[in-house]
Chains A and B, each alone.
Chain A
Amino acid sequence: MFFLHNLERTVTLHPSYFGRNMHDLVTTKLVKDVEGTCAGDYYVIAVMDTFDVSEGRILPGNGMAEFTVHYRAVVWRPFKGEVIDAIAQTVNPHGFFAQAGPLRLFVSAHLMPDEIKYDASATPAQFTNNADMVIEQGTHVRIRIIGMRAEVGDMWAIGSINGDFLGCLQA
């Protein structure tokens, strides 16, 4: 789910950038630093604006200036139970990996409808029910997240296509 989230971050600026457009530079640096990263249990998708940039304080010792920036950002936090669209990346006998933006999900063969079976002889390998549902590399799939785990820089999720309106999207 997407949120507009107020966040705070300290940005340091090298003395060579000190000058009139210092605040612009601070914003630029902020955007470069945080956009597209995973901060715990959400991804920072985009920085909307900075609404408060504090006065810079010179750090003793190295002359860098430190700013505390308050900004608004669009963040994406996947939730357990949420249904998202993803693209299948690789298929193996145990299930398939799918990518939903920055998040990588794994859908195990247990969490698929019973009629969907792994077919290794197809090129490329696929999960199929021999009818309308064919999941191979590049297929768009709708997945329900059933488990998540986050570490410092990354998140992983387990998905399921066992349910109504889940699974292959092209059909």
Chain B
Amino acid sequence: MAKTVRLGNRLRYPITVVRLLKQPGNKIKKQEPLMEYSFKWVKEVGDSIRGDTWEEEQTTIVNWASPSDGELTNWHIREGQKIVMDRIAMEVVEECSHEIQYQGLCAMCGKDMTEVNWATETRDTARAPINMVHDHTNLTVSAIRAQRTERDLQRRLLESRKLSLVVDLDQTIIQACIDPTVGEWQQDPTNPNHEAAKKIQSFQLDDGPSDLARRCSFYIKMRPGLEEFLKTIAEMYELHVYTMGTRAYAQNVARVVDPDKKLFGNRVISRDENGSIFSKNLQRLFPVSTNMVVIIDDRSDVWPRNRPNLIKVSPYEFFKGIGDINSNFLPKRHDLLTSGSAAKGTKKDKKITSEPVAGGDDSTLLKQQAQEQEREFEKQINDRPLQMLQEKLDREGEEAEKATVQSDDGSESRASSPPPQRHHVLQDDDEELKYLQEHLASLHRAYFAEYDESQASQPASNNDVLAQVPDAGRILSDLKIPVLQGLKIVLSGVLPRGIDIYSSEIGLQIISFGADLRPKISKDVTHLVVNAAQPGRDKLLEARRRPHIKIVSQEWLAACFTQWAAVDETPYLYTSRIVGEHGTAPGGIPSEEDEDDDDEEDEEDDDTDNADGSGSKTRRLANGKPLKLRLLSSSANGQASGESGDDTDLEPGLLPDELPDGSSSPIDGLKTFNWGSADEELAEFLASGSSDDDEDEDGIDDEEDEDEDVDDAQPEPLSANDSSLLTTSPTAGTKRKGRSSDDEDDDDNDNDVDTVAVETGGVNGTPAKRLRRTQSQRASSLRNEYVAGAATATASDRGDDSGLPTPSRSEGQDGDTDGQKPAELGEQEASGEGDDDELEFDDAELEAAFEAGFEKEAAELEAQMVADAALEEGAMDVEKG
């Protein structure tokens, strides 16, 4: 193989080739002079002490030494040539290309590759940089070699119609623990766990990571159905073990799982050979192409570069609370989907904080982690967590039994023999592998279907067989995406605050299954996934108000991920109440229906309110005049006059505590509310107008930005039934008037008022809602200004509501919210699009009014400023005087 050799960067260019010492055909050795060249340089000569120096140009002739062994075939330079920069000098055919190296030795010619030579710029060891053998780190190959090996592998796999499957051990196909209790349970037939413990196999590491690990037994529980699973899968996949345990551990486990070495052979890679202590990397085994590789692992965060090829399985937890005994070497996991493990996760959290961040010195870090693991081992051996668990279970069981016995027959003492049905900690009820087998089989089918298709379409010569190998990662995602497609999922209480849901483990998984992950609840959300242990309050409350949102526990998500199907939500529905939720109707259904659609507005109004609030505060500071926040919120709400906007604490359950003592509850009105008619109305409304709303919603928003201003005051379609509901508002309003105006929560509720009204009138009153939303988005810009002016006006006692440049219609609207709603408004709503024109018209009017208000205000301000300035000047004059 010819190799081109360059002159190198170290020569003092420009140079002139003086003589070629070797001719093509000659054998050359490293460091042997091959040619002579000359270069010019400047030397300072003379007496440097007296300063009597001058520069003289010198010419020096040097030998150029060969950087390479072999036979010289061709010179690319000739005698007398002037060379100004590094370039190719010659071609050499090497005897050995040193493509495979073992611990610094070329495995093909036996030469020592670590020799450093002054004639060469690169080291020979760099010629074989890739480490792709499972069980040795010191055998390296060159890129070309790796490619060739991999091509052979792929060809062989394709012939036998197999794929490669990289299998993780801990918590994926087995679970290990070192709690000696397991051994005792195995010995003791009376123990309730004996049955389950019988199937546990154990080994001792003779070269364990530490003294302690050497002494203790490792108990290995295979995942139920593992043998069958592996046997079936091995026909479709070539299996590799990739674990973060030590080599000895991995081999022992492989021996337990696969005693004949039929499945894994010696394709076992462990932490010792991994090269990285933080992550696994398919490129370690398949440096060139991962197109035919699939991974099963219970953790996806350890595969940062190979996520597409990964099938994440739910962790196998047979020994409760033990987790992964090799997890110390991995970053902390926060992808657990079972609520039960949340507590464990937090515990780990604390521990992890003491760990140094990645990127430190690997050896010390490794040592530290090994110590950590040892501590953990020691703890497990001493504490015997399983025994403790069992004792706890026993105690609970006894108590329960005692209770029943006593209730049955108080005088009877407990039976002397232990109860026959003792609870046991070890439960072997995992079904993951069953599903996993199906998934892998279907992936295999899909893969080879595609492969056959591509083969049929263009029969390929042997060489480009590999060019058309389908990508297993892509096919995997093609299979996964339809699973939850179309679902729009919101998470609540599942992830810690401050974590980006889209980059979180669960988030990525949700997305990988084709579902749409949403940060907030909105109208089209279909599922709210809550952490049953600690549900998030706000989103849950919001979702409760929308009957079409299914509120499910995390286990539903886990089940979907396991089964690759949108499983029936019914068993996973989250029904329990949370604190502060009282006041909702039982089952939450009627009131939910009632308030179905307003949540979105709540949120957005919230934001704008806040913005308004802060804005107005600063403004107040600037002006030196107090502004009324209350007014702001009300105007944001819809230009209702201060009173009518404020008084709307109709949201049941949200803020019950804020009602002043003794006052009538704002939901009193609901008690007499005629739900039946509301339902009818809802049904009618849904039937009539909801179909097109969803479609044009996005598009129309912008156009309607203009309209929205009016819309605040837009009358809500109210049916006759609502009067009872609305009558409550004035009382609530009057009560609340006295309260401090900067209460954000109040603002929140204020917004709810009119939305509640909407809902009661005709649920899904989409146009109105849409308008309101856009309005609230806008409220932060123009409206703020305007409002400030209005507020100042009020503050300066000039203005009652007349300071508000509300169009004439708003009078009537104010009236509405106060409880007298003209029927025509309902009609207007019903007419749907028709009122848009009208709105536009109003808009212009309103804007004019704005303008007027503005100018007025501006003028006033200016006057004020001038006056102030004059005063100041006067003061200064006085001082000067």
Chains A and B form a bound pair:
yes
Task: Judge if B110 is at the interface, Cβ distance under 8 Å.
Answer: yes
Task: Judge if B261 is at the interface, Cβ distance under 8 Å.
Answer: yes
Q: CA separation between A133 and B804, bound complex, in Å?
A: 101
Q: Are A158 and B262 in contact (CB under 8 A)?
A: no
Q: Are A124 and B265 in contact (CB under 8 A)?
A: yes
Q: Are B110 and A125 in contact (CB under 8 A)?
A: no
Main secondary structure of the interface of B (DSSP, over half): loop
Q: Are B110 and A146 in contact (CB under 8 A)?
A: yes
Nearest-neighbor residue (CB-CB) of A145 within chain B? B110
Q: Are B112 and A149 in contact (CB under 8 A)?
A: yes
- State how many angstroms separate the Cβ of B134 from the closest Cβ of chain A: 7
Q: CA separation between A108 and B160, bound complex, in Å?
A: 26
Q: Are A123 and B100 in contact (CB under 8 A)?
A: no
Q: Quick one: which of A106, A110, A147 contacts B112, CB cutoff 8 A?
A: A147
Nearest-neighbor residue (CB-CB) of A123 within chain B? B262
Contact mask for chain B residues 123-145; partner A; CB cutoff 8 A; 1 contact, 0 none: 00000000001111011010001
Nearest-neighbor residue (CB-CB) of B145 within chain A? A94
Q: CA separation between A93 and B156, bound complex, in Å?
A: 12
Q: Are A110 and B108 in contact (CB under 8 A)?
A: yes
Contact mask for chain A residues 126-162; partner B; CB cutoff 8 A; 1 contact, 0 none: 0000000000010000000111110000001110100
- State how many angstroms separate the Cβ of A146 from the closest Cβ of chain B: 4
Q: CA separation between A77 and B675, bound complex, in Å?
A: 97
- State how many angstroms separate the Cβ of B242 from the closest Cβ of chain A: 16
- State how many angstroms separate the Cβ of B250 from the closest Cβ of chain A: 14
Q: CA separation between A93 and B103, bound complex, in Å?
A: 17
Task: Judge if B102 is at the interface, Cβ distance under 8 Å.
Answer: yes
Q: CA separation between A34 and B628, bound complex, in Å?
A: 91
Nearest-neighbor residue (CB-CB) of A120 within chain B? B156
Contact mask for chain B residues 163-180; partner A; CB cutoff 8 A; 1 contact, 0 none: 000000000000000000
Q: Quick one: which of B105, B141, B265 contacts A147, CB cutoff 8 A?
A: B105
Task: Judge if B107 is at the interface, Cβ distance under 8 Å.
Answer: yes
Q: Are A158 and B110 in contact (CB under 8 A)?
A: yes
Given A92-B133, A123-B265, A124-B261, A147 and B152 contact (CB-CB distance below 8 Å): no
Task: Judge if A170 is at the interface, Cβ distance under 8 Å.
Answer: no
Q: Are A157 and B105 in contact (CB under 8 A)?
A: yes
Q: Quick one: which of B102, B106, B261 contacts A123, CB cutoff 8 A?
A: B261
- State how many angstroms separate the Cβ of A161 from the closest Cβ of chain B: 13
Q: Are A95 and B107 in contact (CB under 8 A)?
A: yes
Q: Are A147 and B111 in contact (CB under 8 A)?
A: yes
Q: CA separation between A100 and B288, bound complex, in Å?
A: 34
B residues within 8 A CB of A137?
266
Considering the complex, which residues of chain B in the window 142-168 have a beta carbon less than 8 Å from any beta carbon of chain A? Answer: 145, 149, 152-153, 156, 160
Q: Are A120 and B133 in contact (CB under 8 A)?
A: no
Q: Quick one: which of B102, B149, B265 contacts A158, CB cutoff 8 A?
A: B102
Q: CA separation between A111 and B111, bound complex, in Å?
A: 14
Q: Are B102 and A106 in contact (CB under 8 A)?
A: yes
Q: Quick one: which of A91, A121, A125, A149 contacts B103, CB cutoff 8 A?
A: A149
Contact mask for chain A residues 44-62; partner B; CB cutoff 8 A; 1 contact, 0 none: 0000000000000000000
Q: Which of B100, B107, B156 has the most CB of A within 10 A?
A: B107
Q: Are B104 and A110 in contact (CB under 8 A)?
A: no
Q: CA separation between A54 and B138, bound complex, in Å?
A: 43
Task: Judge if B114 is at the interface, Cβ distance under 8 Å.
Answer: yes
Q: CA separation between A160 and B108, bound complex, in Å?
A: 9
Considering the complex, which residues of chain A in the window 79-108 have a beta carbon less than 8 Å from any beta carbon of chain B? Answer: 80, 90-95, 97, 106, 108
Task: Judge if B109 is at the interface, Cβ distance under 8 Å.
Answer: yes
- State how many angstroms separate the Cβ of A113 from the closest Cβ of chain B: 15
Q: CA separation between A126 and B603, bound complex, in Å?
A: 67
Q: Which of A108, A111, A124, A160 has the most CB of B within 10 A?
A: A108
B residues within 8 A CB of A110?
100, 107-108
A residues within 8 A CB of B109?
146-147
B residues within 8 A CB of A149?
103-105, 112, 114
Q: Are B105 and A158 in contact (CB under 8 A)?
A: yes
Q: Are B135 and A158 in contact (CB under 8 A)?
A: no
Q: CA separation between A146 and B265, bound complex, in Å?
A: 29
Considering the complex, which residues of chain B in the window 82-116 have a beta carbon less than 8 Å from any beta carbon of chain A? Answer: 100, 102-112, 114
A residues within 8 A CB of B136?
90, 92, 97
Nearest-neighbor residue (CB-CB) of A97 within chain B? B136
Nearest-neighbor residue (CB-CB) of B134 within chain A? A92
Q: CA separation between A125 and B152, bound complex, in Å?
A: 14
Nearest-neighbor residue (CB-CB) of A125 within chain B? B265
Nearest-neighbor residue (CB-CB) of B114 within chain A? A149
Q: Are A94 and B100 in contact (CB under 8 A)?
A: yes
- State how many angstroms separate the Cβ of A91 from the closest Cβ of chain B: 7
Q: Quick one: which of A94, A120, A123, A125 contacts B141, CB cutoff 8 A?
A: A94
- State how many angstroms separate the Cβ of B137 from the closest Cβ of chain A: 12
Q: Are A95 and B100 in contact (CB under 8 A)?
A: yes
- State how many angstroms separate the Cβ of B408 from the closest Cβ of chain A: 62
Q: CA separation between A78 and B37, bound complex, in Å?
A: 44
A residues within 8 A CB of B260?
123
Q: CA separation between A149 and B112, bound complex, in Å?
A: 7
Q: CA separation between A120 and B153, bound complex, in Å?
A: 9
Given A80-B110, A106-B102, A149-B103, A90 and B149 contact (CB-CB distance below 8 Å): no
Q: Quick one: which of A94, A121, A145, A147 contacts B106, CB cutoff 8 A?
A: A147
- State how many angstroms separate the Cβ of B64 from the closest Cβ of chain A: 29
Q: Are B160 and A121 in contact (CB under 8 A)?
A: yes
Nearest-neighbor residue (CB-CB) of A118 within chain B? B152
Q: Which of B114, B160, B265 has the most CB of A within 10 A?
A: B265
- State how many angstroms separate the Cβ of B295 from the closest Cβ of chain A: 20
Q: Are B112 and A108 in contact (CB under 8 A)?
A: no
Q: CA separation between A90 and B112, bound complex, in Å?
A: 23
Q: CA separation between A114 and B102, bound complex, in Å?
A: 21
Contact mask for chain B residues 315-336; partner A; CB cutoff 8 A; 1 contact, 0 none: 0000000000000000000000
Q: Are B135 and A90 in contact (CB under 8 A)?
A: yes
Q: Quick one: which of A108, A120, A145 contacts B107, CB cutoff 8 A?
A: A108
- State how many angstroms separate the Cβ of B281 from the closest Cβ of chain A: 18
Given A106-B102, A124-B265, A149-B112, A94 and B156 contact (CB-CB distance below 8 Å): no
- State how many angstroms separate the Cβ of A153 from the closest Cβ of chain B: 13
Q: CA separation between A158 and B111, bound complex, in Å?
A: 9
Q: Quick one: which of A121, A125, A148, A160 contacts B105, CB cutoff 8 A?
A: A148
B residues within 8 A CB of A94?
100, 107, 133, 139, 141, 145, 149
Considering the complex, which residues of chain B in the window 536-587 have a beta carbon less than 8 Å from any beta carbon of chain A? Answer: none
Nearest-neighbor residue (CB-CB) of B107 within chain A? A108
Given A80-B110, A123-B265, A93 and B104 contact (CB-CB distance below 8 Å): no
Q: CA separation between A91 and B102, bound complex, in Å?
A: 14
Q: Which of B102, B104, B152, B260 has the most CB of A within 10 A?
A: B102
Q: Are B153 and A158 in contact (CB under 8 A)?
A: no
Nearest-neighbor residue (CB-CB) of B103 within chain A? A156
Q: CA separation between A8 and B731, bound complex, in Å?
A: 106
B residues within 8 A CB of A91?
266
- State how many angstroms separate the Cβ of A128 from the closest Cβ of chain B: 15
B residues within 8 A CB of A111?
107-108
Q: CA separation between A149 and B100, bound complex, in Å?
A: 15
Given A124-B265, A124-B266, A93 and B153 contact (CB-CB distance below 8 Å): yes
- State how many angstroms separate the Cβ of A111 from the closest Cβ of chain B: 7
A residues within 8 A CB of B112?
147, 149
Q: CA separation between A136 and B156, bound complex, in Å?
A: 19
Q: CA separation between A128 and B305, bound complex, in Å?
A: 36
- 12 new A-B contacts, CB < 8 A, other than A149-B105, A156-B105, are A80-B110, A90-B266, A92-B139, A93-B153, A95-B100, A97-B136, A106-B105, A120-B153, A148-B110, A156-B138, A158-B105, A160-B110
List the 4 closest A-B pairs by CB distance, nearest first: A147-B110, A146-B110, A108-B107, A106-B102
25 A-B pairs with C-beta separation under 8 A: A90-B266, A91-B266, A92-B135, A93-B152, A94-B100, A94-B107, A94-B139, A94-B141, A106-B107, A110-B108, A120-B156, A123-B261, A123-B262, A124-B265, A146-B110, A147-B110, A147-B111, A149-B105, A149-B114, A156-B102, A156-B103, A156-B138, A158-B105, A158-B107, A158-B110
Question: What residues of chain B have their CB less than 8 Å away from a CB belonging to chain A?
Answer: 100, 102-112, 114, 133-136, 138-139, 141, 145, 149, 152-153, 156, 160, 260-262, 265-266
